Structure 1
Amino acid sequence: MAEDDAFTEHRPLLFTIAYEMLGSAADAEDVLQESYLRWSAVDPATVEHPRAYLVRVVTRQALNHLRTVRARREEYVGSWLPEPIRTSPGVSEDAVLAESVSMAMMLVLETLSPAERAVFVLHDVFGYTHGEIAASIGKAEVTVRQIAHRARKHVHARRRRFEPDSGAAREVVERFLRAAATGEIQALMDLLAPDVVVIADGGGKATAVRRPVTGRDGVAKFVLGLARNGTMAARIEQAAYNGMPAARFLTGGALDWLVAFEIRDGRITGLYGMRNPDKLHRADAVHALDRGGHQPWKL
């Protein structure tokens, strides 16, 4: 059917929008399912630009979903991290896309209001105009401009510069893992930036430090402690998650936890560890992400 073809064609773009607005692959999939049901009830012949129409539907569904999950996240046990998504090498080739799905940026987006998040994502990441966004979220264009200014100021004050997944970044990760395994503290310290931070998400369902660990000394001691107690003794695979180099720790062939590395100027500035099993059981699937070439709504 034509509607199936259109939805399938634009699915990577729609998933990327929903994920960036929600920080959860599971929630993004729910939004896409709801959006597909709405799309399937529409006569395709009445829609001149299917992609624009679908983006608007997904945006509205994601906004509704985001408002319902915010209260749940406020009651979260320990530090909350976005659900990690395994990404293809091509993501790192688009600097805007790689930054927009990075753990650090997703955490900044989490501090925005739902409307601010939607406007920032659609305008600064996907390139839609204020007028187009206004038509999508049901607000006046002047209001959207004000929201965009407020959101951009907030994000730019808190964003962390990083290097996307690359051969050089993976080499840094490899050296880090080797230094941790062998207990070479000086080699470890040399790889850590002075302001490095560790954030771990266990969700109250797996052991994880509940508060961020900051600073080179604290992080080095924390990592070496994990190595000594055998936590890092699992089989390790390198991969890419959220456009960042990452390490997968497998025990008995099953993914036990994963760490995404934020790297700047050859040093590690952030380690984002996921142990919450609810956020790991889809971690093997590679997600196709797409910002798409901008096309006007014309609805």
Structure 2
Amino acid sequence: MGSVRAGTAEAADERRQLVNVAYRLLGSVTDAEDAVQDAYTRWYGLPQDRQEEILSPGAWLTTVTSRICLDLLGSARARREQYVGAWLPEPLPDRTEWNHSAGADPTGPADPADQIVLDESVAMAFLVVLESMTPAERVALVLHDIFRYPFAEIADVLGRTPAACKQLAASARRRVGVARAPVTGTGRAEVVRRVKEAWETKDIAALVGLLDPAAVMTADGGGLVGTVLHPVEGGARIAQYMIAIADKAPGLELLERSVNGVPGLVARRAGTVVTVAAFDVSDERVTRIWAVRNPEKLRPWTQQAGGNH
């Protein structure tokens, strides 16, 4: 039972869980996969006797992955200052919506994005709130509230006392607490559908009616494609901007697709996904739009779209 082979097999089985933890901590599939790969490199680099001493390879790997993410979160702040425009988390597709018939080869290597469980803890609204936290708050909240790790184990990740970690999670929770409970899936889907229809028909009055007067739209082009560098504030201004985009991009195809498990819109041009938009909805009106246009963050979407013949 305590053999290295059993421990190695147990370690390999943890990959999905680790990718889920790392994505919620980092907001990037690519960075999450890199962090998990780094953790495995460290695991396989341990001497045999050291591996045998580790009673739970999964707990060891989670601790190491979380520490790697903590370091990355610290350096990410400096990197984001050089980022062109707003930085948004990397959006996740739902593979089942793209490949209805054949689907992907189940025996092939799993795409990291496909290993991430789509639940409320990956909704864009929640990930954006996580971005406002300190790295330590984010780690404490994600590990405790989402993955149910005890504060004694989180203390080992953060190098603080369990009591201090409990305080960090409470502080993080207060930031999340200001967010409202999300609208039900059906209500949200209906609002997003109406936005799509109004956008396609360039009905500015209908768009203004669907947008909260205090709505905010944030776009992320990463300096690689043209987009607004600062958030667009106010329903009327957002509606005007959306109509201007439609005028400038003939042939744009809008699709209703889940974005991080929540109803959203995908814009495709000549078969290539060019924008993924996530929405926050309250009282049947859109309060926030997050539009990801950075092509580096849309790779999982381009792969999915390419497989949907």
Q: TM-score range by the shorter chain?
A: 0.7 to 0.9
> With structure 1 as the length reference, what TM-score do the two structures score?
0.83
Deviations 1:146-192 (A, max 9, x none): 322322223324x354336x344333222211111212233222322
Following TM superposition, by how much is the alpha carbon of 1:242 offset from its aligned partner in structure 2, in angstroms?
A: 1.6
Contact between 2:118 and 2:260, CA under 8 Å: does it hold in 1?
no
Give the 5 Å matches for 1:1-299.
2=6, 5-42=9-46, 43=48, 44-87=51-94, 98-157=119-178, 159-163=179-183, 166-230=185-249, 233-284=251-302
Secondary structure at 2:119's aligned position in 1? helix
For 1:162, the aligned partner's letter is P
Question: Are the aligned partners of 1:3 and 1:40 in contact in 2 as well (CA < 8 Å)?
Answer: no
Contact 1:105 1:160 in 2 (8 A): no
Unaligned runs of 5+ in 2: 97-116, 305-309
The alpha-carbon distance between structure 1 residues 256 and 167, as it changes in their structure 2 partners (threshold 3 A), is same
Unaligned runs of 5+ in 1: 90-95, 287-299
Describe the SS at the equivalent of 1:282: helix
- State the shift of 1:66 in Å: 1.7
In 2, distance between residues paired with 1:36 and 1:130? Answer: 24
| Count of paired positions | 278
Deviates further, 257-266 or 118-127: 257-266
- Counterpart in the other structure of 1:290: none
Contact 2:141–2:173 under 8 Å retained in 1: yes
For residues 266 and 215 of structure 1, do their structure 2 counterparts lie closer, same or farther at Cα, with a shift above 3 Å needed? same
Task: Measure the CA separation in 2 of the matches of 1:47 and 1:259.
Answer: 44
Flag the structure with more relative contact order, 1 or 2, with Cα contacts below 8 A and sequence separation at least 6.
1
- Deviation of 1:33 after TM superposition, in Å, equals 0.6
Tell me if the contact between 2:207 and 2:239 (Cα under 8 Å) persists in the aligned partners: yes
Counterpart code for 2:26: L
Distance in 2 separating the partners of 1:240 and 1:100: 14
CA distance in 2, matches of 1:285, 1:48: 39
Cα separation, 2, equivalents of 1:103 and 1:151:
17
Distance 1:139 1:27 in 2: 25
**Taking every aligned residue pair, what percent have the same amino acid on both sides?**
38
TM-score (norm 2): 0.81
Question: Are the structure 2 counterparts of residues 102 and 7 from structure 1 closer, same or farther at C-alpha, using a change threshold of 3 Å?
Answer: same
Is the partner of 1:78 in helix, strand or coil? coil
CA RMSD of aligned residues (A): 2.5
* AA partner of residue 99 (structure 1): E
Q: Distance in 2 between matches of 1:15 and 1:88?
A: 17
Q: Using the alignment, how far apart are the partners of 2:190 and 2:182 within structure 1? A: 15
